[in-house]
Amino acid sequence: MAEHTLLRKLEVLWGIPIFCTDQEGKNICSFGIFSEKQNPLTVSDELLQTLIRQAREQDVPVIYKISGKIYFFCISSGSHYYLSGPVCAEQMSYVEIHQFYKKYHMSPKEERHPDKMTMNRMLNFVSFLYEMLEGKDIQPDELMEKNNLIEEKEIREENDKVRIELDKRDDASYHHTYMEERYVMDTIRAGDVDKVNERADGLFEKAGILSKKHFNNQRNLAIVSVTMATREAIAGGVAPADAYRLSDYLINQIDQCQTLEEIIELNRRCLYKFTKLVADTRKTRNFSGYTEQCKDYISQNYHHKIYLEDIAEAIGISQGHLSRIFRQDMGMKIQDYILKFRVERAANLLKYSDATLSDISDYVCFNSQSHFGSVFKEYMKMTPGQYREKYKRKEFYT
């Protein structure tokens, strides 16, 4: 019982789930802090058995790496195995996270970035847990060597040195990821006024540098925010004339700001105003509530197969009635809307990520890369490769 309490406290302290299982890998259980449903250790018997098998073959804790970036840990103690993870040492892309969830058959609705920590922090965690369970001290270098990670550490350290030198030379700043940006833009498109400010905080903190002068930098960021929010508001159902009218007004307001504080505050208000415009538009326009629910369902589930019967069941009406209402409101069939939505998401990934065409095709749930290519060309009048070449952002290819 005392050990159980210590492990619960360790989970809270380090923010990493810890699980325990018997010698056969049966009856795996957690210590109560983290959900068991969305962890590969509890849903993948293959992963669990791989970790246990490796723990039997070596006399030190196991550090097991999958998908190039994600780590799991396993420690043999007495008649039990103690397992932990997933964590990663570097940022994962939207597509990589999706592939990770898909590989272990976890719900895409729950997709989130695995907890990040440095390699040294990982090693310290494993060393601490090992000493607590076995009463033995183990040095990080020994852990690295026994798990064949020494070369990886040297490469990572060399890469870190290069990155530090580049940061010093270019005064570079860490940019937010496409996933974080999409998180905020989806909130605007959905008209979720309760969440937009909270989600935008992280985006502003990690924004890139658009000018060496701090005032000009914030001014440029504010204009970019207005431009992006305008597009999302239109995608959320706002009439283009209304969205552009608000955009013109806000850009003029930005132009009149005299202090840094005024621009920063206005930048936050801009995102809120566009989100509120979407919310108000949805309340007043004549679209059926069923159509809105259908569109929301598609936006949440587009990266796996969508069946009309599932949408109708989730909304609570018949398939035929839903199809008729949706076509009346949107001027297109539900299936055509799904394809259009997937193409739009794919187009953003082509511009803002370095994911391969195959990965993007898989992420937005096309049956094959050739099918993806033909549908994309139908909507965009060019192939995915041509679109990326024309609109790619240079920071992803330098």
Listed residue (338, 312, 114) closest to 106, CA to CA = 114
The Cα 48–Cα 40 span in angstroms is 8
Q: Rounded distance, CA 379 to CA 116, Å?
A: 38
The DSSP bridge partners found for residue 77 are 80
Name the one residue in this structure whose structure tokens are 């070596």.
58
First and final C-alpha spacing in the chain: 54
How far apart are the C-alpha atoms of 371 and 376, rounded to whole Å? 8
Q: Specify which residues 80 forms β-bridges with.
A: 22, 77
Say what the pLDDT of residue 226 is: 87
- The structural domains of the chain, with segments of one domain joined by +, span 2-156, 178-284, 289-396
SS3 call for 91: coil
Which residue in this structure is represented by tokens 């930098």?
Answer: 217
Distance (Å, whole) CA 98 – CA 105: 10
Which pair of tokens denotes residue 288?
């059926």
DSSP 8-state secondary structure symbol assigned to residue 212? S
Q: What is the pTM of this model?
A: 0.54
What is the chain's pLDDT, residue by residue, as a tens digit (398 residues)?
Answer: 556 777 877 777 777 888 999 888 888 887 765 665 678 888 888 899 999 999 999 889 999 998 788 999 999 988 899 999 899 888 887 788 888 888 888 877 677 788 888 888 888 889 888 888 888 888 888 888 888 886 554 445 445 454 444 444 444 344 445 556 676 788 888 888 877 766 665 555 545 555 667 778 778 888 888 888 888 888 777 777 788 888 888 888 888 888 877 887 887 788 888 889 988 887 766 556 788 788 888 988 888 899 999 999 988 889 999 999 898 888 899 999 999 999 999 998 888 788 889 989 998 999 899 999 999 999 999 999 999 988 875 544 44
* Class of domain 2-156 as given by CATH: alpha beta
Residues 6+ apart with CB under 8 A from 222: 254, 263, 266, 267, 270
Whole-angstrom distance, CA of residue 123 vs CA of residue 144: 8
Q: Which residues pair with 72 in a beta bridge?
A: 64
Task: Classify domain 289-396 at the CATH superfamily level.
Answer: Homeodomain-like (1.10.10.60)
Q: Which helix (H) or strand (E) covers residue 72, if one does?
A: strand 70-77
Look at strands 115-116 and 80-88 and give their pairing. Answer: parallel
Q: List Cβ neighbours of 109 (8 Å cut-off, separation of 6 or more).
A: 300, 301
The sign one gets for the Cα dihedral 47, 53, 57, 58 is positive
The answer to whether residues 30 and 17 touch, using CB atoms and an 8 Å cutoff, is yes
What whole-number distance in Å separates Cα of residue 323 and Cα of residue 328? Answer: 9
* Burial (Cβ within 10 Å: 0-12, 13-18, ≥19) of residue 226: buried
The pLDDT assigned to 373 comes to 95
Q: Is the dihedral of CA 321, 322, 325, 328 positive or negative?
A: negative
SS3 track for 121-167: HHHHHHHHHHHHHHCCCCCHHHHHHHCCCHHHHHHHHHHHHHHHHHH
| Sheet strands (E) in the chain | 18-22, 29-30, 62-66, 70-77, 80-88, 115-116
- Cα–Cα distance for residue pair 333/294, rounded to 1 Å: 12
Number of residues assigned to the chain: 398
Which residues pair with residue 75 across a beta bridge? 82
In order of 219, 290, 296, the CA distances from 293 in angstroms are 37, 5, 5
Task: Give the distance, in angstroms, between the CA of residue 327 and the centroid of all CA atoms in the same chain.
Answer: 32
Rounded to the nearest 10°, the torsion over CA 185, 88, 103, 294 is -20
